[in-house]
Amino acid sequence: MKRVLIFAFIIVAPFVSKAQNYFLGKTDDGIEELYIMSVTHSPSTNTSTVVDRLKPVEGRLTDFREKATATAAKGVKKDDIKQVSFVKRKVQFHNKAKKYRILEINYFETGGKLVEKAKFDEEETPWMNITAGTIVEAEFKKVSGK
């Protein structure tokens, strides 16, 4: 059993280490940078769940806050988001269907204080198509190995 665990760790460890704080790129509008924080795979559901971090491109904090306010999840207080400096999301990818859905969004101030949080039920959150050429597609390809 010990050998199996060591073997599994050797196989998984290189991917996990790459996934920690992995800079993926900027959004198409040039306002946000995307970092992959962690990835977990579920073979039974053929899904990958990613915790990622969106932060403003240097010098674009005002634009980032405006965008975050405009796209804030339903039920989130938009006045609080005017202080946001980065966002952590939990995104689930359906590897075979090439779709995704956002399960959680956390808005943070510069010092790391949680400003707002929105959590979505898996059963009620629809899957969305991954659009070619977007940062979401790049993230999907990175975590799914496609």
- For residue 113, give the 3-state DSSP assignment: coil
Model pLDDT for residues 37-59, shown as the tens digit of each residue: 999 999 999 999 999 999 999 99
Range of the domain at 69: 2-144
Tokens of 138: 């790049």
Model pLDDT for residues 71-120, shown as the tens digit of each residue: 999 889 998 899 999 999 999 999 999 999 999 999 999 999 999 999 99
Task: Please report how many Cα atoms fall inside a 13 Å half-sphere around the Cα of residue 6, on the Cβ side.
Answer: 3
Residues in the chain: 146
Nearest 5 degrees, angle CA 120-CA 96-CA 68? 35
Model pLDDT for residues 118-140, shown as the tens digit of each residue: 999 999 999 999 999 999 999 99
- For residue 10, give the 3-state DSSP assignment: helix
CATH number of domain containing 65: 2.40.128
pLDDT for residue 20: 67
Lowest mean pLDDT among 1-10, 27-36, 61-70, 113-122: 1-10
Specify the number of domains making up the chain: 1
